[in-house]
Structures are given as structure tokens and as C-alpha cells.
Chain A
Amino acid sequence: MIDTLRLTAEEAAGLVERGEVTGAELHRAYLDAIAERDPELHAYLCTVDEPEGEGVPIALKDVISTRGVPTTAASKILEGYKPVYDATVAARCKTAGLPLLGKTNLDEFAMGSSTENSAYGPTRNPWDPSRVPGGSSGGSTAAVAAGLAPWALGSDTGGSIKQPAALCGVVGLRPTYGTVSRYGIVAFASSLDQVGPIAKTVRDCALLHRIVAGRDPLDSTTVELPEPIELPQAEDLKGLRVGVPKELNEAEGIEPGVSDAANRAIELARELGAEVGECSLPRSVEFGLPCYYLIAPSEASSNLARYDGVRYGLRVANGDVRSMYERTRDAGFGDEPKRRIMLGSYALSAGYYDAYYGQAQKVRTVIRDEHEAAFERFDVLVSPTSPTVAFELGARTANPLAMYAADLLTIPSNMAGLPGLSIPCGLSDGLPVGFQLIGRQFSENLLFRAGHALERALAFDVVPERLR
């Protein structure tokens, strides 16, 4: 009997290696779990019945192109689209022998923080199905939390791995920009998008990151990793200099229960031998979010232009080509992509470019510099991942700005291209709280070591209480 709720990817790999279960049995166990629990959660958009590979199965966020398997980005405009090629990360999973379990739900084109923007219906939080799993990688994090996948890949633009990992009580890494190939990832905002692992443990994340990371000749923004990814063993944090950015820990809107849990984690870090000190990222936090909402929509407005009904996906033909574009895009895109296409087109327009997109890029440099200065004194910066625990479905759908605020704490380091790891650090009102560790560029190994030591000490039970 395979307990998919408890089994980590590392343990699953051990079972297969020792011949205690076959890859097919493992895959079947997860499909059974999906059949049992996914009708309620809706973490998957599709599942794969006949997998390739004998290793630990994996779920992929549905922005990752999978050859012959539908890839929709949770949009109507890509309904029925089956890629003719594998994204580099999907190909690397295949090469590593990880069979595909299925494609997970997300906010349409990864635009959102609750997975409610999916054109195929929302995903629900395994800890409380009346609540959202976060987003946009909510399908992947919910699948891992509910034992519907041992591990998964998500993508993170403004916080789309870290924030739902926090809300679902699992571990998620947003890697350093440029360390994981974007080739084959349905693009949202090219200068921010990054694929990363989601799993129950830090070690599982490290294992999966090791499989997918590294330079890809098909993505010229990728670089060679300066050092190989190591499996973390550390049990203490001796000598680690931990910075606590005031603005990320005291921002308006952070729930008291979230603050308490994060502070306990900081206290624990000190007990494990870390040197904890306060620091400041004033402009990063004040300007990060507004600048993000200029840069990301600008790039999105251009990235989404290819969905025109000419070559693939939805086409609403009617009269001439202009009218085909208009009708196809009107019928194919949901409200959030439309909103961001409009925002972005405006920000890039002649006469507005310098004031909006150009200015936001300058501020981005300021944010990078501010983080760099902090890293002269500290090895990692920590804060809550999300200001709140999982909120009720529908609570923010009428108010885009409230929804955007969900990424307030993850956006600044994303804008700086830095890696961030979110680990569960406790509960608030019975719902998981995420703790974010931000590192220098290419410091994934350090984040994994720190995250692993903290995770052990925190002893958080990742299985949602209602499923135990």
C-alpha cells in the first residue's frame, strides 16, 4: 500500500530502486489518488494514463509544453492545442525517467494569485476546499499537498510558485533567473518567468531542481550553474547570517497569525545558530509591486500577441482577418489576460514608454542594488511568503488590486532576479503559513541547506489535517 499523502519523492525513488514497487505501480497509486480526491480539488487539467519512464512520476503546470499532451495555459484560446515538441524541462524530466502524471491547473497564462482565473474552473485548497490554493501554480501545489503527485513543476513570475506553496503548506523554489530553461514554457513575462520545483520537502525540491536546472542552448538567457546542486544535509545554521528586512516583515496587510509563525521561524533560526539581524529594503517593497505591474503586463501584451487564430488553438473566423483577430481574442482570453494586455499595451505606447516601462526598468535596477547591498551583510533574507493564509474562493475576484497584493512580499526579490525558497513554518487558524528565504544569485545550495535545517527543526506536518 503506497501512502501518496506521506510519501516523499526521495522515498518513492528509494522504493523503486529497491524494487519494492515498480514505476507503473507508483504511477497507478497516484492516478488512484487523483481519481479519489481530484474531483473535489480540481488540481489537474488532464492526466496521462500511459506514462513513459520508470521513475518517480511528476505533475507539470500546464504552461509547460508536453509533446502530444494538451497544453492550454488554462486558457480557452489554447483549447485542444497539443504541442509538437517538449519544453526543455519536460524533456529533462523524461530523460531522468520521470513519467508524466498530468498537467496541473493555473490562473490563465499564469496571471493571478488564486488559480481562480483558470478558464477551466478553480482549484481548491486541500487544507480547506472553500479556500484558494494560491496561484498561479495552484494546481501543482494543491496536487503535491493532497498526495496527488510526489512532486511537480510550477512557474513563477511574481510569486507563482512561492505564494501557492505557502498557501498549500508545501515547499517551492523560485530559482535564480536564467538557471532554468524557459524553452517551451508558455510565456507570460519573459524577463521574470522561471520554472521551479514544488515538493513536500526541501530535499525533494533540490533533487528535482538538479534535474531541470542548467544552461539550455535553446534559451539564450540561461547560464551554466556555477556549482552543481547538492542534496542538503545540514542540521544547524551555524554561521549563517540571516537578514530580516523590516519592510517585508512589517508590511501593511500581514496577518498577525502569519507574522507570529514567521517570527517563530526566525527565532528557531537563531536557536539553530544563525546570526539574525534587521535590515531594510525600503524602495524594493514600496516600488516593487507597481513596477512589476508595468513590466509584467507590458511583456505579456507582446507575448500573448501570437494567439491570433492563424496557426493553432481557437479561431473564431468571421469576415476579414482583423475581425478574426478581434473575435478570436475576445472569445479566447479571460478578463485577467485582457486586463493585462490593455495595461501593457498602454505602458508601451509611444509617449508613455519612458514614463512607464522605461521608468519601471530603472527602478528595477534600484531594487537589484538595494538587495545587493543587503547581501553584503547577510547570506539570506527572510520574511513571510504571503501576507495572508489561504483566502476564501471569490473573496478577491472582484478586486484585482487586492489580488495583486498577494504577491507583495515575493515580487521585490523576483524583480531582482534572485532565488527564493518557501517552506511551511506553521499554521494560522488551521491554515499553513509560508516562510520565504531569499538568497543571492545562484545561491540555491545555500537556500536548500538553510531550508532543510529549518524544515527539520520546524517538523511541520505537510499532510492537510482533514486528510490525515
Chain B
Amino acid sequence: MSWEPVIGLEIHVHLKTRTKMFCRCEVAYFDPPNTHTCPVCLAFPGALPVPNRQAVEWTILLGHALGCQIPDWAIFHRKNYFYPDNPKGYQISQYDQPLCVNGSFEVPGADGERVVGIERAHLEEDAAKTIHVGGAEGRIHGAEHSLVDFNRSGTPLVEIVTRPDIRSPEEAKAFLHLLRQTVVELGISDAEMEKGSLRFDVNVSVRPEGSDELRTRTELKNMNSFNFAAKGIEREVRRQVEIYESGGQVVQETLHFDPGNESAPPLRSKEEAQDYRYFPEPDLVPLEPAAELVDRLREELPELPSARVRRLETEVGFVLAEGLVTSGRDELYSRIPGERAAVANVVMNELAALGLEPSAVNAEELGKVIAARGEIPRSAFDEALAESASPGFSADRYLAEVAIADAGELDPVIDRILSANESQVAAYRGGKEGLFGFFVGQVMKETGGKANPKIVNERLREKLRA
């Protein structure tokens, strides 16, 4: 029997508002502990929450980007549980009346697209940060004591819950890349996993291909990168398939992965049936976003990354298009004139490696350099790229450097290299065509990067064919 993975995601995104969700403390995660606190985010007796308008508007904006409906009535709920980083003893969150519902998010793929249903996107406050001191690896078990930093307490967080519509680890990764890029482009979050401003959990189950049942799922936590998540999902799918094939049953549980040790089995936590005793937050009035506001935010929506992938795909193919868009480099790509695939390759490879600020690059001039790539020395090309974001960058200087295009001058160099690398030559002729780049590299090295790449290619091919 062949099995089909059924994957759903829960993504938390920190909104980069200036102030916290329910008080006017500054959001500054990395300042010294407990320097951005007040009676509200410390939950002193009598303190009351007042919602952050910006956070509400941004959530609606995100809802639009996720194709959600924005109900004209939403409320906050209290989620009750005890933990030292949860100062009120409840988290203000949303439950059955969230700000955004019933969306769908298109994830373009090489062939076709995956439409991922968005169950909801809701607004809530983040917890404080607990630091366990002593004991093993900062875990609560065995710690001597715990310290709480309330700088993060009450900062705004959007939770996005997808329907279980994702069918492979690659799709999950593609979804996450695209969602992240969408959030960044909306300007509502940095969405940086390293800083914790984007976190997510994955729900995984499997079912026989073609079936539409939903089997017991497990929850994968502690994912610290999209790649890691894809690997985790793959492993979990394999595990569940093995269980079913050996006649067993998957148990509903939460699996905590150790990002530092990919080979270690996940830690399991028995989910004690938590009852959060949700009820409508009586300290807040319902959110009733005005139709004009909802419409205005819809109009503010820029062209979304998924649409741009589709548009660029016709120019450079899916892989480059997806890469350009999800890395945020497609704007630079669009500005650089010239043959599209050549431009895309330079933007995704050389320019990306240089780490230049895309918006600073002089696209017009760089386009000239890329067009002349085959005519100028490699060293001039590399130098031009490195300088392309500097003020006053001009292509002329680099275009003036004429590469050694004289075969009479290049042939002796090529001959020398081929005879010094007889085994590679034999291997190439035996079918290892990947070695071609090695020979090009050697020639460039010998000539100090001054050889005309086009001529080098021609001469090399001819000589290797012999």
C-alpha cells in the first residue's frame, strides 16, 4: 500500500509593533531583562488590557493576504493556565471568534499549485521568557531556580492555523518560505526564526493514498528551520508508516526535536489533557472592524509573492522564480535589464553570495556588465559585481577591460593544463562532464582571470573532444 502524508501547520508570527499588545511598553526583546514592564504586562492587581490598534490592523492585513474572511465581529478569549511566564494566569488570545477565518493560500509548485486552506489567523499576546538556571541544559527539570524576563510578556503575536492540506515535506517547506516572505513584505514582522519572531509547529499524520480519512496525528515542536522541519516531517511520516505496516497504532503525542542533534530520537511528552477553560475576556469589548477599514486594508495589499512566482516563472522557470521571490531578490532581478535567465542566475548566485543590499545595487549599470560577461575577464566581472552597490558604480570601467580572446595566446595555456591533468582528462572523456568547470577554472587561474570565458569554453571543448 502506498501512503500519503497529511500535514498541517501552526505558525506564530511576532508583529513588529512599537508597543506591546495590551499596554504601551516598548517591544524590545533583547534589552536587559525586565526593563520594559508595567502594571499591565506584570499583571499587577487591577491592571487592565487596552488593545493595540496597529496590531489589530496588521492582523486584518495579513488575513487579506491569506485570503481570509474578516468577520464583522471578533472577540478575545482568556486561555487559563498556570506558568511563571504567564503572569495573569491566563493568556489573552482568540478562540471561536477570531479576526480572520476561512482563507486559502496558494503555493505555486513546479507542476501545478497547492492550495492550502487557512482555518484561522488570530491575535494574541506572547508569554514572558523563563530562564532555568542550573540543572541540565536550561530545562525546567533539575533546575535550581528559574528567572523570568517580562520584556516579551504581552507582545503581539499572530497565530495562523492551516487546514491539513499539505501533502509532502517539500510542500510544507515551500509554504513556509512563501508565508514568511509574505509577512515580511507586508511589513508587519521580521519573521526571523533565529530571533524567535517566527515559530511553528507541525501536525503530521498519514493515510492510505486516495483515502480522505484523518488518522491520529502527532505534533512536532521545536522546529528551528524550514529544512529541519522538512527532515522532521519526513522522519515522522516514515515512522508512522512503519507503525501501520507492522500492524500498530499511532499514539497522539507531542514530539520535541533537538535541533542540535538531528539523529537523536524526539523527546515525547504525554499530553496531559489540558483544560484551558476558555471564556470571553470580560475586560475587553468585542472588536468590530469597520467595513471601511477592512476595505482600505484590502486595497493596501501589494502584489503577493505567490502571484509574482507565477509571473516570473514564464521568464526564468519555476525554480529560479521561486528562489528569487522567496529570497526577496525578485525586485532587484526585475530592475536589471538583459537576458532574463542570465540576470536571474547572477542575482541568485553571485550577488546573493556577496550579500549586497539589493536596493542599493545600480541595476542599469550592472545589466551592462552581465551582458558583457562573456567578453570581459572573470576578474573584472567579479569586481564589478562586488562594486555594484557602491555609490558611483559605472560599468564602463569594467567593460574597458578586454579579455584575452586570442586563441593563439590561450591554446598553449590550455594544452599545458590538459597535459598536467591527464587523469581528469580521461575521466571527462569517459563521461564525467562535470569536470568541464574544473578545466575552465584552471585556465582562469593561469591567466589571472583575464581570459575571455567564451573563447576559453570554445577552445576547451574542442581540445577535450580530440
Contact = CB atoms under 8 A, between A and B. Distances in A.
Interface of A: 63-65, 71, 73, 78, 81, 83-85, 87, 182-187, 189-191, 217-221, 298-299, 301-302, 304-306, 308, 310-312, 321, 325, 345, 348-350, 353, 357
Given A302-B277, A302-B279, A305-B88, A185 B49 contact: no
A87 B46 contact: yes
A218 B48 contact: yes
Interface string B278-321: 11001111000000000000000000000000000000000000
B146 A321 contact: yes
Interface stretch (B79-87, B190-198, B371-379): B79-87
A189 B283 CA distance: 10
Given A221-B284, A299-B282, A308-B89, A349 B46 contact: no
Given A85-B39, A221-B283, A349 B275 contact: yes
A218 B23 CA distance: 9
B12 interface: no
A186 B48 contact: no
- Give 4 closest A-B pairs by Cβ, nearest first: A305-B89, A190-B282, A348-B277, A191-B282
11 contacts: A83-B44, A83-B46, A184-B47, A190-B283, A191-B282, A221-B285, A302-B277, A306-B43, A311-B42, A311-B44, A357-B279
Contacts of A219: 48, 50, 283
Given A85-B39, A217-B50, A221-B284, A302 B89 contact: yes
A345 B81 CA distance: 11
B50 A83 contact: no
A418 B46 CA distance: 22
Given A220-B283, A306-B43, A311-B43, 19 more contacts: A65-B44, A65-B45, A65-B46, A73-B45, A183-B46, A184-B39, A187-B45, A219-B283, A298-B279, A301-B277, A302-B277, A305-B89, A306-B45, A306-B87, A310-B148, A321-B84, A321-B140, A348-B80, A353-B277
Given A71-B45, A184-B47, A345 B277 contact: yes
Contacts of A350: 275, 277
Interface in B352-366: none
Given A220-B51, A345-B277, A311 B87 contact: yes
Contacts of B226: none
B20 to A, nearest CB: 14
Contacts of B277: 301-302, 345, 348-350, 353
A185 B46 contact: yes
Nearest to A109: B45
Between B44, B49, B51, B148, the greatest number of chain A beta carbons within 10 A of the residue's beta carbon is seen for B44
A302 B44 CA distance: 14
A218 B50 contact: yes
Between A73, A310, A321, A350, the greatest number of chain B beta carbons within 10 A of the residue's beta carbon is seen for A310
Contacts of B279: 298-299, 302, 348, 353, 357
A19 B44 CA distance: 41
A58 to B, nearest CB: 18
A143 B90 CA distance: 36
Contacts of B82: 305, 308, 325
B94 to A, nearest CB: 16
B180 interface: no
Interface string B85-104: 00111100000000000000
Contacts of A184: 39, 46-47
**Main SS of chain B's interface residues?**
loop
Nearest to A83: B44
Interface string B51-89: 100000000000000000000000000101010100111
**Main SS of chain A's interface residues?**
loop
A81 B282 contact: no
Nearest to A349: B275
A65 B43 CA distance: 13
Contacts of B89: 302, 304-306, 308
Contacts of B45: 65, 71, 73, 78, 81, 83, 186-187, 306
A81 B39 CA distance: 13
B87 A310 contact: yes
Contacts of B49: 220
A210 B80 CA distance: 37
A302 B39 contact: no
Contact of A305 (B39, B80, B146, B284): B80
A348 B148 CA distance: 29
Contacts of B283: 182, 187, 190, 219-221
A366 B249 CA distance: 49
A184 B45 CA distance: 7
Contacts of A71: 45
A410 to B, nearest CB: 20
A353 B285 CA distance: 21
Nearest to A191: B282
Contact of B48 (A81, A182, A301, A349): A182
A249 B285 CA distance: 34
Contacts of A64: 46
B47 A183 contact: yes
Contacts of B148: 310
B46 A186 contact: yes
Given A306-B88, A353-B279, A182 B46 contact: yes
Interface in B264-280: 275, 277-279
A350 B279 CA distance: 11
A183 B48 CA distance: 6
B288 to A, nearest CB: 13
B282 to A, nearest CB: 4
A84 B89 CA distance: 20
Nearest to A361: B280
Contacts of B46: 63-65, 83, 87, 182-187
B154 to A, nearest CB: 13
Nearest to B22: A220
Contacts of B50: 217-220
Contacts of A182: 46, 48, 283
B90 A220 contact: no
Nearest to B50: A220
A182 B80 CA distance: 21
B105 to A, nearest CB: 30
A152 B89 CA distance: 31
Contact of A302 (B78, B146, B275, B285): B78
Contacts of B90: 302, 305
Nearest to A320: B140
Given A220-B50, A349-B277, A310 B84 contact: yes
A301 B48 CA distance: 17
B80 A302 contact: yes
A64 B46 CA distance: 8
A113 to B, nearest CB: 22
A189 B277 CA distance: 16
A308 B282 CA distance: 21
Contact of A220 (B47, B146, B275, B284): B284
Nearest to B274: A350
A302 B80 CA distance: 7
Between B45, B48, B51, the greatest number of chain A beta carbons within 10 A of the residue's beta carbon is seen for B45
B42 to A, nearest CB: 6
A81 B82 CA distance: 21
Contacts of B78: 302
A187 B282 CA distance: 11
A310 B88 CA distance: 11
A104 B49 CA distance: 27
Nearest to A192: B282
B88 A220 contact: no
B221 to A, nearest CB: 21
A220 B39 contact: no
B392 to A, nearest CB: 52
